[in-house]
Chain A
């Protein structure tokens, strides 16, 4: 079997040059890091790990008609801004303002539901405007018990679970760039979903790994999440 490469696909993560030594798998129409080495990375994830999910679908909608549009398409929406609502199929809907929503795809369907939301939208007369979040933002997953301590080295918002429980969303600054942080644990695994400016992804990736070093944190792949 030929070894998969990021450049086999026309969709590429801004971080693929950083995935040195990674074992790749396919995710939708792109490559994704499955893991580093052959070991199971579950323990690493529980401790402290960083996963690039930039090739997993995500999209935003904004406008006075956005909530109605999304409800009609079967999404349960958070009641207030800066809250996130997990969907039954593993997707996550975060509300960023009175009229703005961010939809994060799930690994379970390789992001296909959210990918279809993006492909199926058309500009019409209703006030519901698509926001190209997959292209504007990189998507990182910071996992493990130490996630909030790692972020405390980069970010001035208290992200400890007692102050930032599951379902919380923070639009803030980390390592001097704008980020969206969502507390969305996967079962027992503490997870911070982090979206940052796509063009700053390399910078932020290195800043995070530097902050993670004291907790023995390292990059990992999605296999251990599945």
Chain B
């Protein structure tokens, strides 16, 4: 191959001839121009071979030059599988080939092609599944041979983000239809977003030829693009891909490192159509490309695609492309028309006047090559004598470029995602779309309009419909001129020696598809899954239609009956970084957070909250936790319980609401007292608990579990939306900071800060609640016994939380106060046998299983779950939560370890810890009802399969008569 020179202007729309860029491919230095893609720059240097095929390692070059095929997958320093025809060239870029052994030019694995007959369709499925486990042996070998690029594991993540974008009309695709639609919509005042995948506007206007003279497209493009770019109502996103359509016109559009979440009131899809290859032997050789690709190469990059070209076409556009080639100085050796004649007879004259040979009713039967298959060297041309059949006499035409196009397939992917149905008219070989949702329309070639005037009109029609629905005026009425068909209905010419590729990504030949149907896969979806057709990077853009045709014929049906495979998002490969964006991961902190950090707390998550687990280093967890717990038993400790859920229930029906929601009775609860509050759902399952403090006849303050409060609040509102009680429920969880000041010295500490309340046991007894001030801060004080010591929960407005903490820590210094964390608190409450809802209960736990029968007011007319609790209580108890203990030094069970009953599993451990106070291991576990009596021995299977024999003991483990908390 000799180096191609660039064509003169006006060819080369995208390149800047004054800005050369040096780059390398597979270690060899090349020069391209600013505006080049990697592929165009390589082709300008005469370098066609860019990749090796997936299975047979055949040499491949660009096919579509529009990012729609897998032939240009290359390796970038930080990115595998980059599309060379989409990736912009940059100075110093180091590009490599992928999927080869040795070098891209002489790939040792290309020998695999000779074994293709031994690698039939379904080869992997059928060859490596026996004996069991053999796939594990073969997998690494096959993955290496059929691999794609290599990841750079030292890659530093880039900043990716997302942003919503709100528009009246989103137009996907900036070809003539899209430009027309955008302009018409914007002129009515609509805010329009125009999304274009390529770095230029105009679509085919930028590279295709629409008339004999070749003048119309350029002038039209200039006019439309200028109008669109200057329109104040149009926002343009270039090099942006609309990767899916989701319900209500929610469109993910990827541009650079950002994913736009476009919400459009109206959406017009003008995505165009894909050029379709012709299937014949060796149709994958470098130098064989879609006709549109050769035109793009010339018009966009000023690269001459070859010296001697053959054009194989199924419609009139191939003739026009031949004129383009001719004008660019490429000798056109023949225009081969699959049809018997073009629709426009003037095209034949045009060829004749230029001396271009014309072969109607013919096809390329085989592409020829020199040794090494590096480039096409000629074609074997034959007369078509029947559907897919050719005459036996051949003529050979030498060429170094073969442009092919059998017709067009609409870019229907987004529309199918929207529920549109793609129909195929077997007689006209034409597609149509139906069943689109409201506020989504199509325009241009995706809608079956190919003649330029029709395309422009179709854009205006779609825009009119959209703006009409938006109330901006406009209508979707239009009358279209008839136009010739663009698809040749059977562009498939099987060859006895194969290599007639239907799917270039997956190296699938005609016989692979036919064989799949012989294996019994008649449904095109099953053919896809068995043969992997359409599952490669180009997702069936070029293989779906020939596959449908082959399956139709092999199963004696029409293409319309066979259908095509489903197109799902994403439209092109997208990075996980795009999907992740900034990865919002909310967390909540209490007002005392800063103090915990300063005190060296080891923080742990509690739902979305961050809480101190204990104060100290991670490796000293056990010591810290035990010392903190002991300190509370012996002196005084302070724990931040701000995360505890809090609800203010106020109004004349406050008590009535609680009566209905909780199992206990509250109507007669005295002001100034608290009560335990247990909640069941309608299934009778325990879902939350807390303390219900009554501050006034019409005011209760109810605490709830940290993780349960939001849901509980929602449920309360939902119930009262039906009951219509005169009550207000407010979630004050974050509004109140709270601490539990606990330990024998807690009263002494509080007394130094609290001068408007009598804290004596008589005036403020256990379970009493008061409102007062602590260091002048308005506070709700609750005497509670969760950890089993004299203690005060102090709830204050969040703005004062840190000041309260500071005051208590300062006042407590004289009493050797120390903060304690959640882990210590869990140990303390375990010593008291208190259940934590969600830890010691599960989705089945009903009150009797956790000995909470005492917390149910059975005489109430109703509470949520009452009927279910009654039914459950009437049944024999299947399991029960009990306390157990093990001697110090025994293997400590962990949460979730199983309790056994003979060979059967009877329950599991829910909480377990060593207690330094009690000097033994204590825990809670569900056991079979026959194992629940105190003194029973329960086998627990711990880590490593060891079985320890624990003893069931009466709860609480510590201070059985609860004297300490009532001091």
Instruction: Assess A/B contact in the complex (Cβ within 8 A).
Output: yes
Q: What is the interface of chain A, defined by CB distance below 8 A to chain B?
A: 7, 9-14, 17, 30, 55, 62-63, 123, 125, 127, 129, 131-132, 134-137, 149, 152-156, 158, 160, 163, 175-177, 197-200, 202-204, 207, 210-211
Partner of B803, one of A10, A127, A202: A10
The 6 closest A-B pairs by CB, nearest first: A10-B803, A199-B588, A136-B735, A135-B735, A158-B166, A135-B798
Partner of B800, one of A10, A149, A152, A153: A10
Q: What does the 1/0 interface line of B767-779 toward A look like (CB < 8 Å)?
A: 0000000011100
Contacts of A137 in B (CB 8 A): 734
Contacts of A135 in B (CB 8 A): 732, 734-736, 797-799
How many whole Å from B703's CB to the nearest CB in chain A? 16
Contacts of B798 in A (CB 8 A): 14, 135-136, 198-199
B735 near A156 (CB under 8 angstroms)? no
Interface residue B609 (Cβ < 8 Å from any Cβ of A): yes
Contacts of A10 in B (CB 8 A): 775-777, 800, 803
Size of B's binding interface in residues, CB under 8 A: 46
How many whole Å from B216's CB to the nearest CB in chain A? 38
For the complex, what is the distance from the CA of A210 to the CA of B698, rounded to whole Å? 45
Stretch at the interface among B334-342, B429-437, B589-597: B589-597
B698 near A123 (CB under 8 angstroms)? yes
A153 near B732 (CB under 8 angstroms)? no
For the complex, what is the distance from the CA of A13 to the CA of B730, rounded to whole Å? 22
Interface residue B161 (Cβ < 8 Å from any Cβ of A): yes
Q: Assuming the A-B contacts A152-B165, A199-B588, A207-B584, are A127 and B726 also in contact, with contact meaning beta carbons closer than 8 angstroms in the complex?
A: yes
Contacts of A204 in B (CB 8 A): 586
For the complex, what is the distance from the CA of A197 to the CA of B800, rounded to whole Å? 16
How many whole Å from A90's CB to the nearest CB in chain B? 22
Contacts of A176 in B (CB 8 A): 584-586
B587 near A203 (CB under 8 angstroms)? yes
B696 near A123 (CB under 8 angstroms)? yes
A132 near B164 (CB under 8 angstroms)? no
What are 9 inter-chain pairs, A to B, with CB distance below 8 A? A63-B651, A129-B651, A131-B730, A152-B164, A152-B165, A153-B163, A155-B164, A203-B586, A204-B586
B734 near A197 (CB under 8 angstroms)? yes
Contacts of A125 in B (CB 8 A): 652, 698
Contacts of B591 in A (CB 8 A): 12, 14, 198
For the complex, what is the distance from the CA of A204 to the CA of B587, rounded to whole Å? 9
Partner of B588, one of A129, A131, A203, A210: A203
Contacts of B585 in A (CB 8 A): 176
User: Nearest A residue to B699 by beta-carbon distance?
Assistant: A123
Q: Assuming the A-B contacts A129-B651, A152-B165, are A136 and B732 also in contact, with contact meaning beta carbons closer than 8 angstroms in the complex?
A: yes
Q: Assuming the A-B contacts A10-B800, A63-B728, A160-B166, are A175 and B586 also in contact, with contact meaning beta carbons closer than 8 angstroms in the complex?
A: yes
User: Nearest B residue to A175 by beta-carbon distance?
Assistant: B584
Q: What does the 1/0 interface line of B887-906 toward A look like (CB < 8 Å)?
A: 00000000000000000000
A129 near B586 (CB under 8 angstroms)? no
Contacts of B728 in A (CB 8 A): 62-63, 127, 129
For the complex, what is the distance from the CA of A125 to the CA of B650, rounded to whole Å? 10
A129 near B650 (CB under 8 angstroms)? yes
Q: Assuming the A-B contacts A199-B589, A203-B586, A203-B588, are A132 and B163 also in contact, with contact meaning beta carbons closer than 8 angstroms in the complex?
A: no
For the complex, what is the distance from the CA of A203 to the CA of B594, rounded to whole Å? 14
A12 near B588 (CB under 8 angstroms)? no
Contacts of A11 in B (CB 8 A): 799-800, 803
B166 near A200 (CB under 8 angstroms)? no
Contacts of B593 in A (CB 8 A): 202
How many whole Å from B152's CB to the nearest CB in chain A? 26
User: Nearest B residue to A14 by beta-carbon distance?
Assistant: B591
